[in-house]
Chains A and B, each alone.
Chain A
């Protein structure tokens, strides 16, 4: 079983839609969970950062972590064409967020005007 699994998509939605992106993981030592956005030929850009289980909201973005199910989600409300990118989930273990990140493969999202 892979450590972090993420549906690569591609996912195509109309502008204004609510987007749901998900990752599952197998390593129960993961405690820090991140979502990064990656535009073509660019580096990963941090979107959301959460510790342990719970929800975190920032503008149109909401991150959820369910450690009991080993499942994390990112919701994007009122999606915009500028949200079109690859979304990467990443997580790190008990050594803190200074510890190595383990990434999902990324989900390619296209928001159509």
Chain B
């Protein structure tokens, strides 16, 4: 069964550094999403992306964050100038039109 794949599974970064989290969505899906889950808290929406542009973003998704689909298969989340509170699991998801979202296994981001 096709799946969303995310790399790396664990990323450790010094505070203030930039990180790029990578995702390969399911191949025929057109809608892409990033969510995060801080330890012990709910899964929270960050951003959705369709037709090469952001379709919606949350209050969390400020100028520190950006997304990109650099080629036909990858979808990336860049976090600039990381802060301690950016430590979380980051999940990528994808979907077909009006179909449920399918999630990857996440990248655990640890900011030191």
A interface residues, Cβ below 8 angstroms from B: 32, 34, 36, 41-46, 49, 88, 90, 96-106
Contact = CB atoms under 8 A, between A and B. Distances in A.
Interface string B48-72: 1010000110100000000000000
Nearest to A92: B101
Given A44-B43, A88-B43, A101-B45, A96 B98 contact: yes
A10 to B, nearest CB: 13
Interface stretch (B11-19, B76-84, B102-110): B102-110
A42 B105 contact: yes
Contacts of B43: 44, 88, 90, 101, 103
Most buried by A among B45, B97, B108: B45
25 contacts: A41-B105, A43-B104, A43-B106, A44-B43, A44-B103, A46-B100, A46-B101, A46-B102, A49-B100, A90-B43, A96-B97, A97-B95, A97-B101, A98-B50, A98-B97, A98-B98, A99-B48, A100-B33, A100-B45, A100-B48, A101-B33, A101-B43, A102-B45, A103-B42, A104-B42
A43 B31 CA distance: 18
B106 to A, nearest CB: 5
Contacts of B106: 42-43
B7 to A, nearest CB: 13
